[in-house]
């Protein structure tokens, strides 16, 4: 095979097809009792036909194609088809909102828009989306409504089997970050980065040939496809709060013999809570993997009770670098022992496929002078900002040199370091402990205050505190004052209890605010505090109070 063809990441899926053509690749719950399935051979055949049809319809290698397709066999067949013919997949999440979707389309200059009938209505409502030359609906069409072509028409011809040659660093998949520190950015996953990610995932979380993975991270299904194992995907509506029907999810896992499971902490909470209370439908899970948001000791204890025989792993990473580190929390007594002397959340040891370093916390671009790191280095055990580099770490943001300059540091030899935006420290045995985010660090009276340490003390597995968030608010004397916001039912006893824990942990808080509504969460997974939005609400509330006095 031509080396430039081998660079196309879709060849990794073809390898799996040749090994296990008749094995089920996907079982996807579309809701309403409808489960779509496809074998590896069937999925390859569809991808091949879609690839050929897209070329015939005018899509060229390097062109960008927006995919607005719900998680389905259609989605993965189309994704493989786009990659196979050398074009670039652009994932645009529905949670971004109509105006933001249009602006992302402007950013990537798409040539094709492939989506469900509902997403075609969105395209019709916005002039910038209507201007995309090639529109394809996954449903039926009448004349040119709701799109120029249907997916059925695209894949009507026999596939030609051709895989487009690409360069290793050609863009393959563009996805947008969650925007926890501002406006979402277009992470540029090139063919070599996707290949590196699959290698890192399979090495860090090894699969067995007979594994069946219940997977709630749609992009990680790509790694399963390359590894030749079956993915079982529960019905999840990512347009809302990314919630799922736990009973239906567990039934699906049980029916297909799921042996591993992965999802965000809220999703794993729902699934394992159902398993714990319904022992009659308990899948034999050997591993449960979670990530994307903090996981606290009380959660881990509940999870271990639900699946006592399973290895429970918490992974740490980001859209631009996934995975970075992980911790096996199956030995809860170990976690509790370490907690006594290590503040923060343990992200674990970095994986073998990645290198790390800490720099001093700095909210702005970082440039090296003659490759010298010494002005930025942080001594062992002190808090700094985490940097990572490796074969699966995104090197840039698509057509966004400003964002690239803000979050990447390039050495003289060309090595690109990604700034995770997280603050923390390494302990004596190489584990990384998270204490906050660079953009949420509070600068109080000349000292850096790290929100995670305050929140950890405030929560402390207290059943009366549902969520906690520490934010900095403008203060004429201190620069910023520390406000601790609790999602809880207010009472003098609660305030006193939290106050004692903060004092014991040596954490200074200027005011405690009890929220009368749920704290704002990130719009994608609904699992992490949306600090910019919370700060905006508090400042708006404070301005309103001043205006009324």
pLDDT at 32: 86
Query: Distance between CA 348 and CA 327 in Å, rounded?
Result: 4
pLDDT at 386: 98
Nearest residue to 150 (alpha-carbon basis) of 69, 85, 220: 69
The string of pLDDT tens digits covering residues 189-235 is: 999 999 999 999 999 999 999 999 999 998 899 999 999 999 999 99
Judge whether 70 and 57 are in contact, CB under 8 Å: no
- The answer, as to whether pTM is greater than 0.95, is no
pLDDT at 180: 47
pLDDT at 408: 97
List domains and CATH numbers for the chain. Answer: 3-21+35-166 (3.40.50.980), 193-436 (3.40.50.12780), 441-547 (3.30.300.30)
List, in sequence order, every residue forming a beta bridge with 311; answer none if it has no partner. Answer: 287
Which residues in the chain land under pLDDT 50?
180-182, 240, 332-334, 549
Judge whether 387 and 362 are in contact, CB under 8 Å: no
Query: Distance between CA 36 and CA 343 in Å, rounded?
Result: 46
pLDDT at 142: 85
Cβ neighbours of residue 185 under 8 Å, at least 6 residues apart? 176, 177, 179, 397, 400, 403, 407
pLDDT at 332: 45
Judge whether 172 and 9 are in contact, CB under 8 Å: yes
pLDDT at 549: 40
pLDDT at 517: 87
DSSP string, 213-264: EEE--GGGHHHHHHHT-EEEE--B-TTTT--B-HHHHHHHHHHHT--EEEE-
């Amino acid at each position: 095979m031509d080396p430039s063809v081998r660079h196309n990441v879709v060849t990794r899926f073809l390898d799996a097809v040749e090994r296990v053509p008749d094995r089920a690749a996907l079982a996807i719950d579309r809701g309403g009792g409808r489960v779509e399935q496809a074998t590896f051979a069937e999925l390859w055949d569809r991808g091949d036909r879609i690839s050929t049809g897209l070329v015939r319809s005018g899509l060229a290698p390097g062109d960008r194609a927006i995919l607005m397709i719900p998680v389905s066999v259609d989605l993965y067949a189309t994704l493989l088809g786009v990659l196979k013919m050398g074009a670039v997949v652009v994932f645009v999440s529905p949670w971004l909102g109509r105006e933001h979707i249009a602006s992302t389309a402007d950013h990537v200059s798409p040539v094709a828009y492939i989506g469900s009938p509902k997403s075609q209505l969105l395209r019709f409502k916005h002039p910038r989306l209507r201007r995309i030359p090639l529109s394809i609906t996954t449903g039926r069409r009448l004349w040119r409504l709701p799109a120029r072509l249907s997916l059925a028409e695209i894949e009507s011809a026999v596939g030609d089997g051709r895989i487009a040659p690409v360069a290793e660093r050609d863009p393959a998949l563009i996805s947008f970050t969650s925007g926890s520190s501002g406006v979402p950015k277009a992470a540029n996953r090139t063919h070599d980065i996707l290949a590196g990610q699959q290698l890192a995932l399979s090495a860090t979380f090894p699969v067995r040939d007979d594994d069946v993975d219940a997977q709630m991270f749609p992009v990680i299904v790509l790694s399963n496809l390359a590894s030749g194992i079956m993915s079982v995907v529960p019905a999840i509506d990512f347009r809302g709060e990314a919630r799922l029907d736990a009973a239906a999810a567990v039934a699906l896992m049980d029916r297909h013999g799921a042996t591993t499971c992965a999802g965000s902490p809220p999703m794993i909470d729902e699934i394992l809570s159902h398993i714990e209370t319904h022992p009659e439908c308990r899948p034999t899970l050997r591993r449960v993997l979670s990530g994307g948001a903090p996981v606290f000791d009380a959660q881990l204890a509940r999870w271990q009770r639900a699946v006592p025989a399973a290895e429970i792993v918490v992974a740490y990473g980001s859209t631009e670098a996934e995975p970075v580190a992980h911790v096996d929390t199956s030995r809860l007594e170990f976690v509790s022992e370490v907690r006594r002397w290590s503040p923060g959340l343990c992200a674990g040891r970095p994986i073998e496929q990645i290198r790390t370093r800490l720099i001093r916390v700095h909210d702005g671009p970082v440039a090296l002078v003659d490759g010298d790191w010494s002005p930025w280095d942080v001594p062992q055990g002190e808090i700094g900002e985490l940097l990572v580099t490796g074969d699966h770490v995104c090197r840039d943001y698509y057509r966004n040199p400003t964002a690239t300059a803000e979050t990447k540091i390039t050495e003289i030899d060309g090595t690109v370091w990604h700034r995770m935006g997280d603050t923390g420290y390494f302990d004596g045995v190489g584990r990384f402990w998270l204490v906050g985010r660079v953009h949420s660090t509070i600068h109080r009276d000349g000292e850096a205050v790290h929100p995670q340490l305050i929140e950890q003390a405030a929560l402390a597995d207290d059943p009366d505190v549902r969520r906690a968030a520490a934010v900095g608010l403008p203060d004429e004397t201190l620069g910023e004052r520390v406000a601790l916001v609790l999602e809880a039912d207010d009472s003098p006893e609660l305030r006193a209890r939290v106050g004692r824990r903060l004092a014991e942990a040596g954490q200074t808080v200027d005011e405690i605010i009890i929220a009368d509504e749920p704290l704002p969460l990130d719009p994608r997974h609904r699992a992490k505090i949306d600090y910019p939005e919370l700060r905006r609400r508090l400042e708006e509330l404070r301005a309103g109070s001043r205006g009324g006095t």
